[in-house]
């Protein structure tokens, strides 16, 4: 597992890929940060980092599929899948190795974003507990979407298609929340509560308000496990169906 992890990290960090992605993320964060500060002219308006993260979620719908699109699609495209499958490692180890590598890149991006709270803390005041909760929430939210993006990458050998489908699916995930609030859905309160339970966005907003709820943690962790398991099954299934 470790060699797959290492190789994936090399493919991110020995190429401009991870840096370009992190730069894009930093650019978005800077933009949000600066506009928020610019609006601080009245004493009644205040800005919080969790709020920035909350807005960033919408940008991440585009960033995460770009990060995960190559994961399995390129292995198939270049025929290197054969190498992985005929090596003395099992598919689960391959999936986990790749997942942790993607998570590492995600952490690298989050690390870059820590610059802003540090600068703010030097010149003002940061509510550390709330910020930490927002980071935790954002981390889990990102891991879930990484697992989802990898799953979609395992469906196709075209990485661009994987990215586009990933964006659509993640967008749908975000809008489950809005969908569950529609007049149509409120006709069926039971169904509405089920759909709402699957919405990731309101769960993240609890984190950004400084709450760590066990139910939210369970939701994110089980979603990650489901997507990774599905990923494993999808790869095994394709080998069986091939032809």
Which residue ranges make up the site for other proteins (CB under 8 A)? 2-4, 6-7, 10-11, 14-15, 78-90, 239-240, 242-243
Query: Residues 100, 5: contact at Cβ < 8 Å?
Result: yes
**Nearest residue (CB) to other proteins, 76 versus 203:** 76
Distance CA 218, CA 169 (A): 21
Distance in Å, CB of 110 to other proteins, minimum: 25
Distance in Å, CB of 76 to other proteins, minimum: 11
* CB of residue 107 to other proteins, shortest distance in Å: 22
For other proteins, the closer CB: 68 or 180? 68
Instruction: Supply the minimum distance, in Å, between the C-beta of residue 75 and other proteins.
Output: 9
223 close to 143: Cβ distance less than 8 angstroms: no
The residue with tokens 């986990």 is: 96
Count CB atoms within 10 A of the CB of residue 30. 13
Q: Which is nearer to other proteins, 39 or 237 (CB)?
A: 237
**For other proteins, which is the closer residue by CB, 86 or 123?**
86
Per-residue burial over 116-127, b = 16 or more CB atoms within 10 Å of its CB, e = otherwise: bbeebeeeeebe
């Amino acid at each position: 597992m470790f060699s797959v992890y290492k190789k994936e990290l090399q493919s991110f960090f020995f190429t401009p890929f991870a840096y370009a992605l992190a730069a894009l993320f930093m650019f978005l964060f800077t933009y949000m940060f600066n506009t928020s500060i610019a609006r601080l002219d009245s004493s009644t308006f205040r800005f919080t980092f969790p709020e920035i993260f909350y807005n960033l979620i919408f940008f991440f719908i585009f960033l995460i599929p770009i990060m995960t699109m190559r994961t399995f699609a390129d292995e198939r495209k270049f025929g290197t899948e054969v190498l992985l499958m005929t090596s003395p490692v099992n598919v689960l180890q391959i999936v986990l190795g790749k997942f942790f590598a993607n998570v590492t890149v995600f952490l690298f991006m989050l690390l870059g974003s820590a610059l802003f709270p540090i600068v703010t803390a030097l010149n003002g005041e940061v509510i550390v507990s709330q910020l930490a909760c927002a980071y935790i929430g954002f981390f889990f939210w990102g891991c879930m979407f990484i697992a989802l993006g990898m799953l979609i990458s395992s469906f196709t050998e075209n990485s661009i298609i994987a990215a586009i489908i990933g964006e659509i699916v993640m967008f749908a995930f975000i809008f489950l929340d809005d969908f569950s609030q529609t007049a149509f859905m409120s006709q069926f309160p039971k169904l509405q509560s089920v759909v709402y339970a699957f919405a990731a966005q309101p769960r993240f907003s609890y984190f950004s308000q400084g709450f760590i709820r066990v139910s939210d943690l369970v939701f994110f962790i089980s979603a990650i496990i489901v997507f990774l398991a599905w990923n494993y099954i999808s790869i095994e299934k394709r080998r069986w169906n091939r032809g």
